[in-house]
Amino acid sequence: MYDSIALVGATGAVGRIVLEQLVQREFPYKKLKLLASERSVGREVRVSGETIKVELLEPDAFKGVDLVIASTPDEVAKEFAPWAVAAGALVVDESGYWRMDPTVPLVVPEVNPDAVDNHSGIIASPNCSTTQLVVALAPLHRAARVRRVIVSTYQATSGAGLPGSEELNDSTRNALAGKVHPPSVFQHPIGFNLIPQIGSDKHEGYTSEEMKMVYETRKIFGDDEIQVCPTCVRVPVKIGHSESILVETERPLTVLEARQLFEGADGVTVIDDLDQHQYPMPRDCEGKDDVFVGRIRHDISGGTGVAFWCVSDNLRKGAATNAIQIAELLVRRGVTAGGKS
């Protein structure tokens, strides 16, 4: 148990779910601090029947804190995480800033739990699209070693935070009224539309979101030889990222074997009955913590791969739940800011 924990970004979309998860999963702690920017300071939040006032995110706020769970923009994480580490706290960070730092473990508990032991005060949680991908790939990788992945994502607007969800509502209302809603969060109107760009141009025509999937997948599996070809698309869905995945393994897998591996994997639920119209869909996976897999089939294009469809709530397993699961893993393994206790 950690005596004192702090949640940074407590009033954001993911921060609110982290608070819910702390209560629902009965995470062990004695004292909870809520930290945020100046505009949220003084706001009162009810947690387990207790009213907690949001405090200012500043260096002195981390005195006496053992564990920090944070959901903030990259520039905020860059500044505050060293404050927390200097004060003796262990940080679980959901931003993108620390993920590829070679001194920072990038962790999905179902995939690489041992990585938490090799921290220097900060443990990173991956990008939401990467998280569900590696949870689904992990049982196949353990059994047959993943060599190549072709993945197309269909990502919900909540991946861009509360403003993204609000823009979906506004854009849809305007489209139904025959009006054009000028976009501010996305590059184009999202109502009744698909936008094949998430992030900026990063590498040979691939966006920053796509390259995150490449680099983070390799880091999590500890295998730089895994080849990933991603295409990331924003879709007019509020919650729940979907992915179409074709995976090739060193030892070819049959569809039956792949299905059995999925069914036996922690954090994976199989929904796969095409005749009965049963497969994962965002509206059915919202509010749930597993990664859902269906449409499992052989690559009929001449390869030896397995194709499947994958859906996950991007605000839960893609963000808040994974951070809480990392924190739970730290408790189980007795990991502290100074190492294993």
Nearest to 199 by CA among 234, 166, 162: 234
- The torsion angles phi and psi of 246, rounded to 5 degrees, stand at -120, 120
Q: Assess contact for 40 and 11: CB atoms under 8 A.
A: yes
Q: How far is CA 142 from the centre of its chain?
A: 21
CA 190 – CA 179 distance, rounded (Å): 13
Catalytic residue (one of 141, 181, 241, 310): 241
Residue with tokens 């969060």: 185
- H or E stretch covering 12: none
229 part of the active site: no
Strand order in the sheet with 241-249: 227-234, 146-155, 241-249, 306-312, 291-298, 268-270
Nearest to 42 by CA among 51, 32, 50, 31: 51
The 3-class secondary structure across 114-179, one letter per residue, is: HHHHHCCCEEECCCHHHHHHHHHHHHHHHHHCEEEEEEEEEECHHHHHHHHHHHHHHHHHHHHCCC
Residues 6 or more apart whose Cβ sits within 8 Å of residue 225: 147
Angle at 151 between CA 150 and CA 155, to 5 degrees: 170
CA 88 – CA 90 distance, rounded (Å): 7
Residue with tokens 């049982």: 139
Catalytic residue (one of 128, 232, 285, 310): 128
CA 285 – CA 1 distance, rounded (Å): 31
128 part of the active site: yes
How many CB atoms are located within 10 Å of the residue 57 CB? Answer: 25
C-beta pairs of 96-103 under 8 Å, 24+ apart in sequence: 96/127, 96/212, 98/122, 98/124, 99/124, 99/126, 99/127, 99/212, 99/216, 99/219, 100/215, 100/216, 100/219
User: Which residues are catalytic, by number?
Assistant: 128, 241
